[in-house]
Amino acid sequence: MPEYKLYINGEWVDSASGKTFDSLNPATEQSIGKFQEGNEADVKKAIDAAEDALEKWSEMPPPKRGLVLLRIAELLKQDKERLGKLVTTEMGKVLPEGLGDVQEAIDVFEYMAGEGRRLFGHTTTSELPDKFAMTIRIPVGVMGLITPWNFPIAIPAWKTSAALICGNTMVIKPSSDTPLCAIELVKIMEKAGVPPGVVNLVSGPAKTVGQEIVKNKKIDGLSFTGSRETGEWIMANVGVKKVGMELGGKNPIIVMDDADLALALDGIIWAAFGTTGQRCTACSRVLLHKAVKEKFMKMLVERTKKLRLGSGLEKTTDVGPLINKAATEKSGRYVEIGKKEGAKLLCGGEAPKGKGFFFAPTVFDGVLPDMRIAQEEIFGPVLSVIEIKNLDEAIEIANGTEYGLSSSVYTKDVRNAFVAMKKIEAGITYINSPTIGAEVHLPFGGIKKTGFTREAGIEGIEEFSHSKALYIDYSGRLQKATIDD
């Protein structure tokens, strides 16, 4: 069994605890390797290394840092096949999506490399004569990056690429379900010439490694993607740091009576059951116009029943496993809750017998907007269909959860499209395409209880840097801003 180490100050080292844990292939339940169970002492060492490396890295001209990022993108490209397979093996998503995970990492490193020649501030006017004003971007400092397992290379890549180009140094804590994907990304960074101490990786439990990163006062900024519960705990314990939060979603797709139903069906199947429903942007609610409901439900159930469960490495598989046993139990629990609430189970609803953390793609009809299955994030292949009479009602229901990440409307009516784009409370709205498929040069993030972060795009730069105001007074006398008048 291969054993993997922590990466601290440019060296691969054992954890202080001397303990290890396993990462399982969710399709087979077999271990793919042993990983260090880091603890608080390891995090402190990693933070010290990041602190020591900060001055030199942040002083390097950003276009030069950009060249390091480009090399990372290049190495990812060369290794894409192997890494895509690793994503599928460690996380479970089907191979085309595993490769997509790596592609997203390539895209974001390429994009952020270019940002090294921009990192724009702005120049502006001054209220006083002979005075010049502008802003520049400065690094946050030492950052903690806490990542989930559902995009095990792409999310660490989103965070590290932006953090690196802005001149920060960092400690990454990957999810214990997918440590190897993050380790492979860090190995590529090492090979690409990221200097020792700039990127450190400490695998291990949330309670020790995660909580130390959150609470440690030497960490200047924290970027977190994960569950709502953890996000709330972090907000209550993080102290004064620059914080980024990307939590869950309960993303709706509205299907209007004038929609192209075949197109909507393709989109819904992909958004609800792609990645086995484990994207933060996965569609878990279809708000379906009553005029097309009967016809569309038949199409939806027929297609859902045809989806083939299996290992993501098999070409014949449409839907891979969930990440772990707890996830299958959670989906099962919500199916029972849905039934008890009076929703009608049309297909799926069970975990098949045998090895692997599989769960059948599930559709509930007759769901009411305030049922728990329509309100709470399940993070599995469980889709709720809610009937709507018109767009106003659909938007009210779409907005009637605590989350606000992604959303979508299928319609041929330009008025419907524009009203929905304006009124849906979400960080992302798609027209005639599903709730998933973000591009790396646009901001990604949500509102309400989903969080307040924007990653990727220019906004991603803002997330990983501070804006600093500069005033240059060349009048030769003391000017006192507004009180001079």
Spatial strand order in the sheet of 131-139? 123-124, 131-139, 465-473
CB 364 within 8 A of CB 393: no
As measured in angstroms, the least distance from the Cβ of 208 to ligand ADP is 10
Looking at the DSSP bridge assignments, the partners of residue 383 are 363
Choice between 214 and 309, CB closer to ligand ADP: 214
Q: Is 280 a catalytic residue?
A: yes
Ramachandran angles phi, psi of 391, nearest 5°: -65, -40
Question: Is 173 a residue that touches ligand ADP (CB under 6 A)?
Answer: yes
Q: What is the per-residue binding string for ligand ADP in 366-405, x denoting contact by CB under 6 A?
A: ----------------------------------------
Choice between 205 and 400, CB closer to ligand ADP: 205
User: Which of 170, 214, 238, 405 touches ligand ADP by CB under 6 A?
Assistant: 214
Choice between 147 and 465, CB closer to ligand ADP: 147
Question: Is 230 a residue that touches ligand ADP (CB under 6 A)?
Answer: yes
Q: What is the per-residue binding string for ligand ADP in 110-149, x denoting contact by CB under 6 A?
A: ------------------------------------xxxx
Q: What does 440-471 look like in DSSP terms, one character per residue?
A: TTS-B--SGGGBS--BSHHHHHHHTEEEEEEE
CB 451 within 8 A of CB 96: no
Question: Which run of H or E residues covers position 288?
Answer: strand 283-289
Region binding ligand ADP by CB under 6 A among candidate stretches 62-70, 134-142, 206-214, 293-301: 206-214
CA-only gyration radius of the chain, Å: 24
Choice between 170 and 363, CB closer to ligand ADP: 170
CA distance readout (Å), 125 to 153, 213, 482, 483, 485: 43, 40, 14, 17, 18
Choice between 211 and 479, CB closer to ligand ADP: 211
Q: Is the dihedral of CA 202, 206, 212, 214 positive or negative?
A: positive
As measured in angstroms, the least distance from the Cβ of 67 to ligand ADP is 30
| Nearest C-alpha neighbor of 444 from the set 431, 433, 455, 436 | 455
Residue whose pair of structure tokens reads 């220019």 in the numeric block: 458
User: Which of 9, 31, 135, 211 touches ligand ADP by CB under 6 A?
Assistant: 211
- Of the residues 166, 181, 280, 347, only one is catalytic, namely 280
Residues of this chain that bind ligand ADP (CB under 6 A): 146-149, 173, 175-176, 206, 210-211, 214, 226-227, 230, 233-234
- Active-site amino acid positions: 280
